[in-house]
Each structure stands twice: as C-alpha cells, then as structure tokens.
Amino acid sequence: MTARLGAADPDRPAPQAPDATTPKDVAANPRLSTWVRVDGDGCVHVQGGKVELGQGILTALTQLAADELDLPVDRVRVHGATTAGGPDEGPTAGSMSVADSGAAVRAACAHLRRLLDTAAADGVPAAEVDLDVDIDVSLPARKPAEGGLTGISVPRVDLPDKVRGRARFIQDLVLPGQLWGQVVRPPSPAARLASLDTAGVEALPGVVAVVHDGSFLGVVCADERRADVAAESLLAAAAWEENATLPDRADLTTYLRDGPVTTFDVDVSGEPDDVAPQVRKLAATYTRPFLAHASMSPSCGLARWSDDGTAVHVWSHSQNVFGLRRAVAAALGVAPDTVQVEHAEGAGAYGHNGADDAAFDAVLLARAVPGRPVHVRWRRADELSWSPFGSAMAVDIGVCLSSEGRMVCWESDVWSQGHTSRPGYAGSPGLLAGAHVEGGAPLPDPVDPPPERGAGSTRNAIPGYRVPVRRIRGHRRQDAALRTSSLRTLGAYGNVFAIESMVDEAADCAGADPLDFRLAHLDDDRARAVLQAVADHVGWAGRPREGDVGWGLGYARYKAKGAYCAVVAEVEAVSDIRVRRLTLAVDVGRVVNPDGVRSQIEGGAVQSTSWTLKEQVTFDRTRITSVDWETYPILRFSETPEVEVLLLDRPELPSVGSGEAAQGPTAGAIANAVAAAVGVRVRDLPITPERVVAAMEA
Amino acid sequence: MTDSPAATVSLTVNGSATTVTGDPGTPLLHVLRNELGMSGPRYGCGVGLCGACFVLLDGAAAPACDTPLWSVEGRTVVTVEGLAEGEDLHPLQQAFLDEQAAQCAFCVSGVLVSAAALLAEKPTPSEGEVVEALDRNLCRCGVQRRMVRAVLRAAEQ
C-alpha cells in the first residue's frame, strides 16, 4: 500500500474553461447526458455532482432545474453524486455548490428545455430525445425577472422522509447478504500494534472474519451486535506500543510557533514610510483550539467486492466521490475504474470528517469476504478522536492608529497547521486505515488550498477594512502532531475572531463607537449595508452600557469574495457566559431559496456559538481525551441563543454560498459582547467562565 | 463481554405485539433497526448521551442504544415511525415541516420523541418547558430554536 498519487493536485481534473461563459463544471463534464435524463415517469432526473450534507443543496438544485425547465418542483429529481456516469464536480465544500453546480445545472437544463420544446413540436416523446450531445452554453438561462421559483422558499425535498424516520441515510442501507464490520482503532495517534492473539475472537459465535494488517484491526460478523461484542474482544486481545507525540495542550501557541514552519506573504502593501505620525500602537495574540466536527452520527461506510475480487463498489457519505475513488484506488494500487463510489446521505458534515476513512475501512474488511457487502459504523469515540480536526491557530495582530483615530497599518502573523488533507489532496491517499496497514503510506501532513481557492490557514486573514499599510503573513507548521483538515470556514473562523476582536480594541483605543469605527474604514457599499442594517434593526445606538449584559459587533465578507455578514451578539455574563440573542444581516447576492439561506445562517451562527463558548479537543501527551459528549460538550437547547436573520437580497448579483458566512463574524461579535459585559477581554477561545475570571484577575 | 444464552422477549412496538429472540444484552436500538426493520431510531453515541436513538418506553423518552433487550419484556415501545398514523403526520412532524426545523435531520427522530413525550404529559407547555424537555437531545447543525418553535406550534393545534 505505497502507491502515491501524482504530484499535481488530483482533487480535480483541472479543466480549462473554453471561455468565460462556460460554467467550469460544464467545461469539465460537457456531455448533456452526464447531467440530465428524462424517464418514462414524467420526471426530469438531474444527476448532480454535489452532495446533500444537510445544507439543502438537493432542494436548491431542484429549484434551479425546475425553474429552467418550467416544471413543477415535484417533476424534477436531483440525485446524489456517483462515479458511475455522474459529473465530477470535485468536493462539496467551500460554499461553492450553488455557484458551481447551480450554474452547470442551469446550463444543462436550459439546453434540455430547448430539446424538449423541439421534440414536443415534432411529436417526439421526451424520453426518446438524444441527450448524448455537448451542452450548448450559448442558450440563455432564465433571468430572475422572468418569474419562476428563484427567490421562493421551496421546502426541503428530503425532510418529509426524515421527519417520518424513513430510511434515507447511509446508516439505513441494508444490502442483500450484508455483514457487519467493526474496526478496532489504536488507542492513540502514534500507537502501533505490539502483539495480538486472535484465536479467542475467531472462536466467537457469528464472527465471519478477523482482519489484521499491520496496526489495522477489524472484524466482520453476521450481525451488528456480534460485531460490537467481537470488537470488544479484539480490543482486549491487542497490546499496543504508544508514543507521547502530542503537544502541550496548555501551550499550543508555542507548539505552533516552534516547529518547522512554511512562512508565506499574504498581503504586503503600502509603504510604512507613508504612515503619518502614529499616536498609538496595539498588539495582541488571539488563539483558537483544535475543534472536532462532532457530527451527530459516527462515520459509516459500505463496500462490496466482486466475487473474483477485481472490483469494489463503495457507498459513502464522502463530500467527494471521485476524490474518494482515486484515493481508494491509489491506496490499493489498482486502477480507478475498478472502484465505484456512490454517495449516500449521512448526518451533517461540516468538512472533511471520517466519511472517507469509514468507506475505506469497509473496503478493507469487505476484501476478506468477496461478494458480500460489509457495513461499517464507527463508534462515537472513534468519530471524536480519529476524524480530522480543525486546526488550532494563533494570530498575532499589531495595529497603528493615526492621531485622527484611523487604523493606518496592520501587521499580522497567522500560525497554524494546514487546513486540508482531503483524500488525495496532499499527494498521498490520505485514508486513515491506509496509514495503519503494514507498509502503508503515512497520513499526509495537512496543507492549505491555494489563495485562488480561498486559502486555508490565512483564509480571511486580510481585514476587509481600509488600512493603507499591510503586512500579513502565514506560518504553516509543516508537520502535524494532530491530524487536521477542512472544518467549516477553515482558518476564517479564527482569523475573523482575531480581526474583529482587534478592531474593537482599536476602536476602544481611538475612543470610537465600534460601529462608527468600522464604517469609517469601509468603502464597500455592500459591507456598509449589512452593518448598518443589523445596527438599525437592533437599535445599536441605544444598547445597554451597564449591568451584566453586553452587546458586540462582528463583520466579515467570507473569503473576501463571498457572502457579507454582520452580527450583533447580546451576551449576559453572570456566573456563566450566555449568548441570549444573535442578529445577523447577510448579503449572498441573488437569493435562490430565502428560507434555505436563513437556515444556513442560523445554523452557522449557532454552531459558531458552540465553538466559541464550549469547544476544544483535549489530549494528554499521548492520547486524545475528548472522546464522548461529556468530554467534548457542544451547545445544548438550553444554551442556544435566539437568532434573527435579515436578508439583503441582491437579485442582480450572482449567488454565493451561505453555509460559512456567519461563523467568523459571530465569534467576533460574541467576544466583543463579552468584553462589553465584563470589561475585560478574553483573547483565547473558547471563552469560558474560567477564562473570564482569569482575565479579570490578570 | 461474552455471548449469553439467547433470551426471548415479548414487547409491543408501535402498537404491534412482537416477540424477539436474541442475546439479552443486545441494545433495543439494534433490535428495532436490524430485527424489526425500523430506521427512525438512530445510533449517535451508544451511551444515551445524545438522544438520536430516543424512543417512547412506556410513554417516557428513553435511549434505545442504552436499553438492553432483556429489560423490555412486557413493555411498550413507540418509535418516531409510530407517531404518524399511516399517511397522516403527527402534529409535531407537520410542525417540523412547517417550520423547516431540520438541517441534516439525523437528530430529528429523537427530538420528535422527546417532544411527543412532553406534549402527552403537558399539551400546552411553556417555551421554557419545551427547552427543558429537549435538553437531553443534541443537534449539531444549530436548528434548536426552530425546533422549539415547531413544538410550540404543534402544541397550539
């Protein structure tokens, strides 16, 4: 298992768009039949390349397709991604689904509509129309002014099944002849199997196979209960050699700074000499810890090898079925076309979680039983300790204020591990079990997406404010003590928290109101509009200035080219830190589905509240110790703030994603509200009562 | 953990009398999903800390993942599938659709079960009572407030 992928980024086929009007996913997948088919059931079936993660993409694409086709929503079916004939649209990530897939589906459906119109005029049945043609992108897509469904809150197409508890998730898949697998993971990231006696496990009733390859251990059993029992038994039969490879959790900043780092400039502009005499300089360091995806379901995967063991069919809740196919093929040293990957819905995914790993676990276990499907469901502790984490970060920021109270220089250094190690991305398969098998390739050190894809550690490291002199650098640790990869917003959550905290500190230093101070440094009308809208709505000018309640403001434009979002947080700090209310104003360009956008913004804001107040991956020098909901607590119903979303619709502007707009600004707003409530600033996440007390005593 | 002699247990699931034979330590969750063909109760943590597997056990919301088969002899189990009456959704299910109170919806089965237990006991709860009743359930997508609104909406009907 040493096969490596090519040095070039294999995550995408790297298509060249022939011209600016061709959606890039059409350029990569030009055949109309890849995208749509018309069946005898009277429905148009759209084969997308993006996947449902709970964000409602199936509904948004259904809506766009129905719009182009002039069909009611219930006559359009959008199917999940598959490598078997579907388009390769890369990962479902980075808030790009509506922009990328939406444009492609619109183009495909505009072409299909013309073909269907012609067929109807000629009396040709719709199902007989030849779709094996290249998509003609010159056909005009419908404009929003033409009416249709754009801007309508079409209800989620998948929810009726889900409120009934119907089988819809990968966990519910039961294939004929299915067996149940369980993997026994090492007790710590650097542990290696020292000894194992499988005789006792093999003798247990219902055990079909015990798989042992290097430090990869698993069982295949007749049913789920027996798999659980056999896995416990296998665990007891294994002895491990562990190594203390983890950093000192109490001083992650030193860990991030002291290792081998790759340093790179993000923005070096303006001449320091041009800065007028400065009256004040501020400097501070802001940090965030490692965060877990903590999805409600542990990862799951199914696989079935052909009887002769030459091909494998995989079912996964992966965000990238083609990427997973290439990674599995590379890890096994086989041709990619012997691996088929079909998407099945999982619980909410917020980035690169354990989905791909669980799929590969199933591939390895199912190899022991050719012809039989094997269903692998991780346990909670595995999910919380083996899914990749979002990286810890430390952000140093220095600001100079002019005598007029304006920010005239901004210097920052972002310290972080890399924010992506998606399968195949960093040059090796990047599948967990691939690193555990004998002779397997170690997991790749995480890297960052390039700036044109929004960067990683330094995503949103450049403040959106007008500051003439900027020196912004990233420092990415080359090695990674903890496995990290894409978690919703990548570095933007930490960077925006840091920037928005510092902007409030600078405003305070300048004796300015946080809103006025921000507006004075913003030229972009859309940025000003979201800030003004949220401030007007909550009555910012009349906010309470005394007592245990504080209000705070946060703002960012995601990836500097995505959604604009401004937040006001209302926090009460007595014995606990309680976020009572969040109000957000958002501009995502043209709104395809207003309630879908609201839902994504609300969810992003609440998840950010959870990260900001409660969450951190814990570990000693050897083992991850946050392994269940007690050691990795997340926000509960009783702690969830009321959330109100103001949508600033821009029908004339392109749609951008909404799933990652709110997290950074919400963290900034909460931090600023806490500072307003208690009079001291906490610069380290999560903002816990202990940290507030420590800041007060400092 | 070893395999114990099989036990035969009689219980009522969604109104139907059922007999199950199996390892007495088998979690009720596995029995419901793998033996009785249900998919609504979901595995989230295996130790009763997240609520994804909640079912009504003699009317009270309880974690099926942490309830062994031997302990349900003679008891009544209602899963989320048992809330609807055929095609007619339970008012809670309809209210969750009306409020679009879900994102990934993996937690929704258990949340609906907790809410059903509350409304059975207290048909017109206060907002605080709804929050308290749902506090044993976790939601990672951040839909908590919509869910609370949905329960209050269902209670009005």
Q: Is B142 on the interface with A (CB under 8 A)?
A: yes
pLDDT of amino acid A140:
72
Average pLDDT, chain A: 93
Query: Could you tell me if residue B86 is inside a domain?
Result: no
Residue where a domain stops, chosen among A386, A407, A436: A386
- My answer on whether A378 and A402 are in the same domain is no
First to last CA, chain A: 53
Q: Please tell me which of the candidates A162, A171, A380 has its beta carbon nearest to residue B45.
A: A380
Q: What residues make up the domain containing A677?
A: 259-290+389-419+456-697
- Please count the structural domains in chain B: 2
Whether pTM > 0.80 for this model: the answer is: yes
Query: Could you tell me if residue B147 is inside a domain?
Result: yes
- My answer on whether B96 and B130 are in the same domain is yes
pLDDT, tens digit, 9 for 90 and up, residues A528-587? 999 999 999 999 999 998 889 999 999 999 999 999 999 999 999 988 999 999 999 999
E strands, A602-648, are 642-647
- My answer on whether B73 and B96 are in the same domain is no
Q: What residues make up the domain containing B137?
A: 91-156
Query: Could you tell me if residue B151 is inside a domain?
Result: yes
- A162/B102 CB distance under 8 A: yes
Residue where a domain stops, chosen among B40, B57, B79: B79
Please give the backbone phi and psi of residue B87, each rounded to the nearest 5 degrees, phi first.
Answer: -80, -15
Nearest to A431 by CA among A420, A439, A442: A442
- Please count the structural domains in chain A: 3
Percent of chain A beyond pLDDT 70?
95
- My answer on whether A359 and A408 are in the same domain is no
pLDDT of amino acid A39:
86
- My answer on whether B97 and B70 are in the same domain is no
Low-confidence ranges of chain B (pLDDT < 50): 1
- My answer on whether A227 and A91 are in the same domain is no
Give the distance from residue B149's alpha carbon to the nearest chain A alpha carbon, in angstroms. 11
* CATH number of the CATH domain containing B122: 1.10.150.120
Average pLDDT, chain B: 96
- A225/B52 CB distance under 8 A: no
- My answer on whether A497 and A379 are in the same domain is no
Torsion of CA A502, A507, A508, A513, to 10 degrees: -130
Residue where a domain stops, chosen among B79, B106, B121: B79
- My answer on whether A533 and A674 are in the same domain is yes
- My answer on whether B144 and B111 are in the same domain is yes
Nearest CA in chain A to B127: A638
A8 pLDDT above the threshold of 70? no
* CATH number of the CATH domain containing A553: 3.30.365.10
Residue where a domain stops, chosen among B79, B100, B124: B79
Q: Is B42 on the interface with A (CB under 8 A)?
A: yes
- My answer on whether A220 and A263 are in the same domain is no
Q: What is the number of other CB atoms lying within 10 angstroms of the CB of residue A339?
A: 23
Give the distance from residue A106's alpha carbon to the nearest chain B alpha carbon, in angstroms. 24
Give the distance from residue B10's alpha carbon to the nearest chain A alpha carbon, in angstroms. 19
pLDDT of amino acid A144:
54
- My answer on whether A405 and A362 are in the same domain is no
Residue type for A25, please?
D
- My answer on whether B62 and B106 are in the same domain is no
A436 pLDDT above the threshold of 60? yes
- My answer on whether A323 and A466 are in the same domain is no
Q: Report cis status (omega within 30 of 0) of the bond before A686.
A: yes
- My answer on whether B73 and B136 are in the same domain is no
- My answer on whether A602 and A678 are in the same domain is yes
- My answer on whether B146 and B96 are in the same domain is yes
- My answer on whether A382 and A397 are in the same domain is no
Q: How far apart are CA A375 and CA A403, in angstroms?
A: 66
DSSP SS3 for A687: coil
Confidence of residue A56 (pLDDT cuts 50, 70, 90): confident
Confidence of residue A274 (pLDDT cuts 50, 70, 90): low
* CATH number of the CATH domain containing B45: 3.10.20.30
E strands, A525-576, are 549-557, 564-573
The token duo for A421 is 């190690």
Q: Please tell me which of the candidates A172, A232, A628 has its beta carbon nearest to residue B49.
A: A628
A295 pLDDT above the threshold of 90? yes
- My answer on whether A284 and A315 are in the same domain is no
Which residues of B fall within a CB distance of 8 Å from A346? Answer: 104, 106
Torsion of CA A481, A482, A487, A491, to 10 degrees: -30
A299 pLDDT above the threshold of 80? yes
- My answer on whether A200 and A269 are in the same domain is no
Nearest to B30 by CA among A374, A223, A175: A223
Which residues of A fall within a CB distance of 8 Å from B105? Answer: 54, 158-159, 162-163
DSSP A539: T
Give the distance from residue A167's alpha carbon to the nearest chain B alpha carbon, in angstroms. 5
Q: Please tell me which of the candidates A348, A379, A380 has its beta carbon nearest to residue B141.
A: A348
pLDDT of amino acid B3:
55
Size of interface A-B (CB pairs under 8 A): 178
pLDDT of amino acid A21:
77
Which residues of A fall within a CB distance of 8 Å from B9? Answer: none
pLDDT of amino acid A9:
38
Give the distance from residue A522's alpha carbon to the nearest chain B alpha carbon, in angstroms. 31
A380 pLDDT above the threshold of 80? yes
Q: How far apart are CA A492 and CA A663, in angstroms?
A: 8
ipTM of this model? 0.97
pLDDT, tens digit, 9 for 90 and up, residues A474-520? 999 999 999 999 999 999 999 999 999 999 999 999 999 999 999 99
CB A89 within 8 A of CB A49: yes
Query: Could you tell me if residue A248 is inside a domain?
Result: no
Q: What angle do CA A361, A366, A369 make, to 5 degrees?
A: 155
Q: How far apart are CA A462 and CA A87, in angstroms?
A: 35
pLDDT of amino acid A10:
38
Query: Could you tell me if residue B1 is inside a domain?
Result: no
Q: Please tell me which of the candidates B39, B44, B47 has its beta carbon nearest to residue A165.
A: B39
- My answer on whether B68 and B17 are in the same domain is yes
pLDDT of amino acid A3:
34
